[in-house]
Structure 1
Amino acid sequence: MNPTATALRAGVRRGVIELRQSLTNGADLWNHAFWPVLMLVVTYFLRDVSFGRTGFTVGALALPGILGMNAAMAMVTMSQLLTADREDGTLLRAKATPNGMLGYLVGKIVHVSGGLVVDLAIFLVPGLFLVPGLVTGSPDAWLTLAWVLALGMVAALPVGAVLGSVFSSARAQGLLMLPILGMIAISGIFYPVTALPGWVQWVAQVFPVYWLGLGMRSALLPDAAAAVEIGESWRHLETVGVLTAWAVLGLVLAPIVLRRMARRESGSSVARRREKSLQRAGM
């Protein structure tokens, strides 16, 4: 039997088990529901706020952008899970089994992707009823939503794995949130990016959050809404190009960084991190 195929199947089973556990655990269920419900509340209060003289509401423009933002935030979830598993020795155990790192990574991708779909559904389904002006009756809309989400996850998850390999402790993950929040603030999620200065628009277009939001808006908003975007266009080709570039970058770097990180893992390094964690907790 092919060892790689065996590792892939084991990884998928592991991911499904972890996803099932997260959907039956009270604390994890709270984490799944809190952010989507909070964003629903924000979107609800924006549903009647007009954006200039465009005829569109800020709520309708923001809802697809929030979907894209949540998809991009999957890289943070991946990073946090990998760092936590590195700190408690889970990665060391994976390293000790044949093709264990491959199975581990596949499992995490299945777990995070499945959880992301659940989170997006919690936000999107009631949002379709709360926010007017969305286009949901066309098969093309759902097809666009699907390919943008799939490509976005391929772009985000490997980058998250790289970030999780860089941070050696869960506490250090706090350093990651500041640039992520800054990136979200300039990416036109809650307000069209064309309202921002030109140089900020250029910076926003470097990162995947903007393109995920743009792709989601192209799926759920009428064509006339493109008038508030850069170039008054949905720019699907550019969306595919930038997200593919991030996906290639992550897929090239992730295996290299993960292998190097795994080589540095040992029982003594796990013990040192655990001891530091207990000292911080005052135990």
Structure 2
Amino acid sequence: MNAKTAALRSGLLRGWIEFKQTWTNSEDLIGQVVFTLLLLGTVFFMRNATLPGTTFSLGAATVPGLLGAGIVFNGLTGAAGYLAMDREDGTLLRAKATPNGMLGYLTGKTVAVSLGQFSGVLVTLIPCVILYRSTLAPDGVWSYLHLLGILVIGLVATMPIGAALGSLTTSARSTGLIVLPVLGLGAISGIFYPITALPEWVQGIAQAFPMYWLGLGMRSALLPDGAVVAEIAQSWRPLPTLAVLLAWSVIGLALAPVLLRRMARREAGSSVAQRREKAMQRVG
């Protein structure tokens, strides 16, 4: 087994261990449960409202948008948060000092975040399908395969961007600068209410980013064809959805390696010590 293969294997194992820790650590588990209950509560209380111009439940129509927003939010902030924390505690420096350590490190983080995304979708989707069994996934297996394809593309479109943004942060506290714009995008991307109810200039801004298109792609996978009347141009627009998500994938995959290499080159024992000293001063 050559060194790169060993690093990949080690990264896969590390990613699996980190993923399991999120479901065995009480603090992480409580956070997951509370967040999921909030989402389920939201769609439950919206069950009696309907999409404008249709008889479809607004709660059911909101489920795919929430899943898409979760992919974007966790893909961006999850990858960025991991990098910021690991820079502060010296994990990244140790990976850099190990032969092919960065390869193993990035493999592990990719596996951990991806598995977290898949499990998060399942935990939210299963009770929603039970609640809205007559509305969600009307095409059965094809609906779930369609959803899986959108999910995979969404991960590729968001995780590299998250890693690139994380490489630009100076501390774990500064990741809040990433969270706020993502929350703003959620407000204008048609997650909780059809985007057609918003001004056209706001719709244009939302369509420049992946959150709207992920929500649209997931709605096309999980909702009946009749629900399309609430969409822009009354169409699921599969080709534009694929084109925009692929464009963001290309941008992320082009930027992330360059920025991560630059970040790794700048990591040194002195920089880790300085960040720890600043953190201790904040605590004190």
The two structures have a TM-score, normalised by structure 2, of: 0.96
The equivalent of 1:80 in structure 2 is 81
The equivalent of 2:255 in structure 1 is 253
Q: CA contact under 8 A between 2:138 and 2:224: conserved in structure 1?
A: no
Q: CA contact under 8 A between 1:32 and 1:115: conserved in structure 2?
A: no
The equivalent of 1:280 in structure 2 is 282
Q: Which moved more, 1:4-13 or 1:82-91?
A: 4-13
Report how many aligned residue pairs link the two structures: 282
The CA deviation string for residues 212-255 of structure 1, in whole angstroms up to 9 with x for no partner, is 10011001100111111111111111111111111111111111
Task: Give 3-state SS (helix, strand or coil) of 2:51's partner.
Answer: coil
Q: Which moved more, 1:262-271 or 1:120-129?
A: 120-129
Q: Which moved more, 1:186-195 or 1:135-144?
A: 135-144
The equivalent of 1:164 in structure 2 is 166
Query: What is the distance in 2 between the residues matched to 1:146 and 1:80?
Result: 25
The reply on whether 1:232 has 2:234 as its aligned counterpart is yes
Query: What is the distance in 2 between the residues matched to 1:281 and 1:273?
Result: 12
The equivalent of 1:195 in structure 2 is 197
Query: What is the distance in 2 between the residues matched to 1:33 and 1:119?
Result: 10
Query: What is the distance in 2 between the residues matched to 1:100 and 1:258?
Result: 13
Q: Give the Å deviation of 1:58.
A: 1.4
Query: What is the distance in 1 between the residues matched to 2:161 and 2:116?
Result: 17
The reply on whether 1:213 has 2:212 as its aligned counterpart is no
- Give, as a single letter, the amino acid of the residue that structure 1 aligns with 2:81: Q
- Give, as a single letter, the amino acid of the residue that structure 1 aligns with 2:174: A
Q: Which runs of 4+ in 1 moved over 3 A?
A: none
| Alignment partner of 1:204 out of 176, 201, 206 | 206
Q: CA contact under 8 A between 2:137 and 2:144: conserved in structure 1?
A: no
The equivalent of 2:140 in structure 1 is 138
Query: What is the distance in 2 between the residues matched to 1:234 and 1:89?
Result: 46
Query: What is the distance in 1 between the residues matched to 2:215 and 2:262?
Result: 33
Query: What is the distance in 1 between the residues matched to 2:141 and 2:119?
Result: 21
Query: What is the distance in 2 between the residues matched to 1:177 and 1:60?
Result: 26
The equivalent of 1:20 in structure 2 is 20
Q: CA contact under 8 A between 1:78 and 1:164: conserved in structure 2?
A: yes
The equivalent of 1:148 in structure 2 is 150
The CA deviation string for residues 181-231 of structure 1, in whole angstroms up to 9 with x for no partner, is 111111001111111111111111110100110011001100111111111
Q: Give the Å deviation of 1:15.
A: 0.4
- Give, as a single letter, the amino acid of the residue that structure 2 aligns with 1:36: T
- Give, as a single letter, the amino acid of the residue that structure 1 aligns with 2:119: V
Structure 1 unmatched runs, 5+? none
Structure 2 unmatched runs, 5+? none
Query: What is the distance in 2 between the residues matched to 1:266 and 1:136?
Result: 54
- Give, as a single letter, the amino acid of the residue that structure 2 aligns with 1:12: L
- Give, as a single letter, the amino acid of the residue that structure 2 aligns with 1:274: R
Query: What is the distance in 1 between the residues matched to 2:165 and 2:263?
Result: 11
The reply on whether 1:94 has 2:95 as its aligned counterpart is yes
The reply on whether 1:39 has 2:36 as its aligned counterpart is no
1:92-131 residue pairs with structure 2 within 5 A? 92-131=93-132
Query: What is the distance in 2 between the residues matched to 1:29 and 1:260?
Result: 34
Cα root mean square deviation, aligned: 1.2
Q: CA contact under 8 A between 1:36 and 1:120: conserved in structure 2?
A: no
The two structures have a TM-score, normalised by structure 1, of: 0.97
The equivalent of 1:59 in structure 2 is 59
The equivalent of 1:70 in structure 2 is 70
Task: Give 3-state SS (helix, strand or coil) of 1:47's partner.
Answer: coil
Q: Give the Å deviation of 1:136.
A: 4.5
Query: What is the distance in 2 between the residues matched to 1:13 and 1:33?
Result: 25
- Give, as a single letter, the amino acid of the residue that structure 1 aligns with 2:35: W
Identity of aligned residues (%): 54
